[in-house]
Every structure is written in structure tokens, then in C-alpha cells.
Amino acid sequence: MKTYSVILNTFLLIALTINAKSANTFKAKVEKATVYLNGAQLFSSHDVVLAQGVNDIIFEGVSPLLQAPSLQASGKGSFTIMEVKFDAIYPEAAAIVKPSTKKLKALQLVGDSIMEIQLQLDEITDKMAALQTEKNILLGNRLIKGETKRDTLNLFKDAMDYLRTRLNNLNAETYKLRREQNSRSQLMTDLLERQSNLNAIINQVENNGATTPQATYRIIVSVLADQATAGSISVNYFVAQAGWTPEYDLRADNNTNKLQLTHKARITQNTGIDWNNALLTLATGTPMQSTIKPDLAPAYLSFYNAYQKEQKKRTLEKNAPQTLSFDESSCSTGNVKNLDIDDAKDATFSFDWTSVSDNILNTEYDVRLRYTIPADGKQHLVAIQTKDLKTNYNLSSVPKMDASAYLLAKITGWEDLNLIPGNSRIYFDGSYIGESYIDPNTTNDTLVLSMGRDKGIVINRKKLKDKTKEKVLLEEKTITVTYEIMIKNTKSVAAELHIDDQIPLSSNPGIVVKLADSSKAKYNEETGKLEWDINLKPKESRKISFTYEVKIPKDKIIAGL
């Protein structure tokens, strides 16, 4: 019995060894992709059977844009990874089939004919130029033009007769040459078409309809096994031709103080291989950057040269020159049951399958659904996460710049959201409002998002001409300026509105600016900024105004009032 067991184990070892030698080349399928803002790390793996000794495990079909320094390999099993490298196999070109001698002879004859016809056309062109030159000389002759002092009537008549006869001959010869030129040109066109057809036939025969052979790019992992064994090999590498950009959907509800923020990613990749049914991880870092800390060099001051700056500016001016792609087959549903729609549970969203993790260098979003991202360079949308945020809403307006009231959402505690700057689409009460931009790289504790214009608030700002006047006293002139802001709440609900305006500041000691009246505004003397917080009842209208005085020498003219 013991002998039988040894023999059986020997045969199993031999079979295992044979399998290991014949099954060491695999198709490299992208199972997972970690996509950075610029670039991506691609992961592939496969189960292997190894023979005793050195084995080469080959992953074929990897990206031709693989960056070799980033190539890594790992494995599970009783073996040692010795080397991992990237190379390409270039297949031999298909054998060239020579075209028949008859076709080559015909092509040569057509080429000779084209050359001959071209020479004939050049000759016709030269003849026509000579005739035109003679015609110009005749018409420019002083005798013909009657400019000589020795002209007699008989001499002039003879000259005109000669001119008439010669011009008729010249015109007849020119028309004859033009007809011959048209005939030769048509013949040239036919010969060129014939030459093109012959070349196409000959090229088709030479290529035999075969496409240009493509290189096969592969990763070779060399491993050492002390004995025949089984295990798995994993490889990963970095490619630069991929990335993602953030995008946000903001959905606000007028009846609540909550704002729903949906974080999305637009992924693009042009790596030369498709990511079929792959798991995605979206990372906010940017790999392959320099890891060396920069050093400061001495900084030197110099005098400002306005001329040099202007010359540099002139030189520069002179020289100045997406759809969600989800692989439905990737999410197995098992046995499908016919459910009553009323009894069915709510559908989930892709962001329900995403988890967020932070490490020292970046934030990663692990998407547990599988996606197919083809290598087409187009944008493919992936939802990352959604959050309900407690938000305070208020209306704000800067009538001097824009006579509109903007709905602002003020969010606190936003630092925990791990957001990065990106465009956002805004929806309010289920309606699309417009687009905005989220910039979390702010030092404020409150993240302020613009939700768009509130058309229910009407604002009008104007300068009051009857209250804008000048007064001269001795050598000084005082200019008084008054602005009025009219606000109307056309909605059926109350509104709180914050208004910003300003008075000008003086940078010249000869100009003195003073705020005369502000309608109880909060005034900042350093910036000249005026601020009002107004509560408007439904359908209520309100006026606010502000007046400032500017004192200047009476012989001066002021700008910017």
C-alpha cells in the first residue's frame, strides 16, 4: 500500500510539472485600477502551477504605455520572485507577394506617358507665353499708339492693317494651343487615374489584404520554486494616460435646511487596453512627481525697470501663438424573480457602493461595483458618494456689479467631506438652476456655495442726479454723490437679504473722501465697504441709500465717482 502511494505521488508530481511548463502564459486582464487625478495604477493577477526550478510567468496584453520603473510583482505560494520585466514581441511581417510582370509593365508605360504629356503641356504653355509677349509688344509699339512725330496717314493705315492681321493670327494660334492644352490635360487626368488604380492593385497584391502585425506587450515574472507547487502571481504598473476630474451635484430643498451633495468622477483613459469589468479606486494624489524636497536659493532684489517689463510683455504678445459606462454583466444578480413594483425595494445608487479611506498622502474612494472603461479617451461618469449637509441659506447681492440676489448655502464642518476643487451643477426644488464651482481650499471655517439667482428678489441701483452736486468754496471743490438701491420681494414668503456696496477710497492726499450718510450700513473704513442686512416681508419694497463727499482742488477733475 505504501509503494502504491509513492507511485501515485510521483505521477501527480510529474503531471503538476508538465502543467506548469505548458501553462505559464496568461492574458493580462485589468482586474483593478487605482485612478489618480493624473495617471492610474493597473493590477492583474492569475493562478499559476509551477515546476521545480525557474519558471517564467508571462502576462500578455498589458498597456504599451507601461512605465517600467513602476512595475511591481507579488505572489502567494511556496516560491521566490527573482525578477520582473517588461518587453514586447514584434511579429514577423507577412511575406510580400510580388505583382505580375504585366501589371508592372503597364504601370511603367503609364508613368512614361504621364512624363511625355507633361512635357507637351509645358511646351504649349511656353508657346502661349511667347504669343502673349508678341501681342504686348505690338500693342505697345509707339507707331501703333500714334506717338511718333513722323507719322503720316498712309504709314498709320499700313500699321493698323498689319496690326489687325497679326492680331488675328496670334489669337487663332492661341485658341488652337488652348484646345490642344485642354485635350492634353484631360489625357493627363485619365493617365493619373490609371496610375492610381494600378498602384492600388499592386499594393493589394503585395499586402495580400493583411493588416500590419501588431506588437504584443507583456510582463515576465521569473520565479524559483524548490518543488512543484501552485500559487498566484500579481503584477501592477503605472500609466500616465488616464485620470479623473471631480464633479458635484448640489440638490437643495426650500422646505428643509438640508443640502444633498453628490460627488462624482469623470474618468478618462487612453492606455491602449480596455478596463473590462474592473474594480475602481479613485485617489486624490498625483504619483510620479518628484519626491525630493526643494531647497531655497538666495533671492536678490533689484530696481524695477518699467521699460524692460513693457518690452518683455510686447515680446510675449508678439510670439503668442461623457457618459456613464457601466458593464451590466459585471454585477451578477443570480436568479431573477418577478416582483410586484409596489412591493419592490428602492433602487440603490452607485455611490451606495463606495467607501472612503484616508492615508498619509491622499484620500481614496473604493468603488465596490465593477465598471468597464474603454480606452477611447472619452469621459465616463462614476458616482462616488452622497452626503446630506446641514446648511444655512441666505440671499446676498452686490448691486454695483450685478442687480441680482444670489442664494448662498453656508456649510460648516465641510472639512470631513474630503472634497477637491471641481465644477458643480445646482438643483433647487427639483429644477436645474445652473453651474457653480466648489473650492474647498479655503481657510474659512464655513464653505459658501452659490446656488444661483433668486428671481423673486428685484433690485435696482441708480445714482440720484438731483442729489449729486458740486460746491466750490475758496480753492476747494466738494462733490456730493448719492446712490439709491431699490429692493422688492415679489415672493409670498419673507426673505432675508445681505447687500454689499462701497464708496471709493483715496490714494492721493489731495483727494479726501467722507461718508455722509449710509442708511445705517455697517461701514469698513479700510475697504470702503458698506453692508446691510434686510428682512423683507412678502411683497414688501424697501429703499436704502448712501451719500459720500469728495473734496478736491477746484481746478482738478476727478474720475471714478
**Per-residue 3-state assignment (H helix, E strand, C coil) for 395-422:** EEEECCCEEEEEEEEEEECHHHHCCCCE
Contact 163, 136 (CB under 8 A): no
CA angle 56, 59, 66 (to 5 degrees): 120
Residue type at 316 in one-letter notation: L
CA distances for 7 relative to 2, 11, 49, 52, 535, angstroms: 9, 6, 21, 18, 95
Looking at residue 36, what is its pLDDT? 92
Pairwise CA distance, residues 471 & 463, whole Å: 18
Cα-Cα end-to-end distance for the chain? 110
Residue type at 392 in one-letter notation: N
Pairwise CA distance, residues 217 & 32, whole Å: 19
Residue 501, C-alpha cell as written in the block = 456696496
Dihedral sign from CA coordinates of 204, 205, 208, 214: negative
Specify the 3-state DSSP secondary structure of 193. helix
Tens of pLDDT, residue by residue over 135-145, are 777 777 666 65
Q: What percent of the chain stands above pLDDT 70?
A: 75
Specify the 3-state DSSP secondary structure of 125. helix
Residue 452, C-alpha cell as written in the block = 444661483
Contact 381, 367 (CB under 8 A): no
Neighbours of 350 (CB within 10 A): 19
Find how far residue 353's CA is from the centre of its chain: 28
Of the candidates 470, 431, 453, the residue with the CA atom closest to the CA atom of residue 550: 470
Q: What does DSSP say about strands 495-502 and 380-398: parallel, antiparallel, or unpaired?
A: parallel
Spell out the residues 6+ positions from residue 401 whose beta carbon is closer than 8 angstroms to its own: none
CA distances for 529 relative to 9, 119, 517, 558, angstroms: 90, 83, 13, 20
Looking at residue 369, what is its pLDDT? 85
Report residues of the chain scoring pLDDT below 50. 1-2, 4, 6-23, 209, 302, 304, 306-307, 309, 316, 318-351, 359-361
Residue 533, C-alpha cell as written in the block = 442686512
Looking at residue 314, what is its pLDDT? 53
Residue 24, C-alpha cell as written in the block = 505559464
Tens of pLDDT, residue by residue over 240-263, are 999 999 998 888 876 777 788 888
Specify the 3-state DSSP secondary structure of 230. strand
Looking at residue 442, what is its pLDDT? 65
Question: Using the 8-state DSSP alphabet, how is residue 95 labeled?
Answer: P
Pairwise CA distance, residues 55 & 227, whole Å: 11
Dihedral angle computed from the Cα positions of residues 533, 536, 542 and 545, in that order, rounded to the nearest 10 degrees: 0
Spell out the alpha helix ranges (H) of 208-290. none
Contact 58, 219 (CB under 8 A): yes
Contact 95, 80 (CB under 8 A): no
Residue 283, C-alpha cell as written in the block = 485617489
Contact 427, 251 (CB under 8 A): yes
Contact 545, 482 (CB under 8 A): yes
Provide the b/e sequence for 351-362 (b: ≥16 CB within 10 Å). Answer: beebeeeeeeeb
